[in-house]
Amino acid sequence: HMLIATDGSDLAGRAVDHGLMLAKGIGASVMFVTVTDIWSSVEMASESVRGTENPMKSYEEMVGALAQKILADAKSAADAAGVDCETHHVSDSSPADGIIDVANEKGCDLIVMASHGRRGINLALLGSQTAKVLALSKIPVLVLR
């Protein structure tokens, strides 16, 4: 049972494709996970100053819709590849913590993820979330670059 983490970025898409190819080859099922961060009080205050009536609700709706799209795209790729999958959105968590928690809860045997995502694009080797998963996971991690 494989967990494939995705944030919808192009690099994460390559990890999705590679993970699906591996899952199909070994007959594994897949759990797709996307994680949305905890809202920032500074960002919420800025949105409030800009006139957003309920910035927390607006943020939750926006990230929820984005997570649904990311997971729907991943599920479509799995369906096209003939791989059984489930999807899971973790909200209000750091990506690394959310990925590790779901992998442990679902009894995954492997975590597949990209070397960096949207926020780590400027990091030279590994994104901070990927490095954290590698450091803290007791489950093997396959990192795609």
The pLDDT score that the predictor gives to residue 121 is 40
The pLDDT score that the predictor gives to residue 49 is 75
The pLDDT score that the predictor gives to residue 44 is 60
Tokens of 76: 């479509």
The pLDDT score that the predictor gives to residue 35 is 95
110-114 and 141-144 strand pairing: parallel
The pLDDT score that the predictor gives to residue 120 is 43
Q: How far apart are CA 21 and CA 42, in angstroms?
A: 41
Question: Is 3 in contact with 106 (CB distance < 8 Å)?
Answer: yes
Query: Could you tell me what percentage of the chain is helix, strand and coil, using 3-state DSSP and rounding each to the nearest 5?
Result: 50, 15, 30
Alpha helices, H only, 6-127: 10-26, 41-49, 55-81, 95-105
User: Would residue 92 be called left, alpha or beta, if left means φ above 0 and alpha means ψ between -120 and 50 degrees?
Assistant: left
Q: What is the pTM of this model?
A: 0.86
Question: Is 70 in contact with 16 (CB distance < 8 Å)?
Answer: no
The series of mean pLDDT values per 10 residues for the chain, 145 residues long, is 96 96 98 87 69 75 93 98 97 93 98 74 60 96 93
2-5 and 30-35 strand pairing: parallel
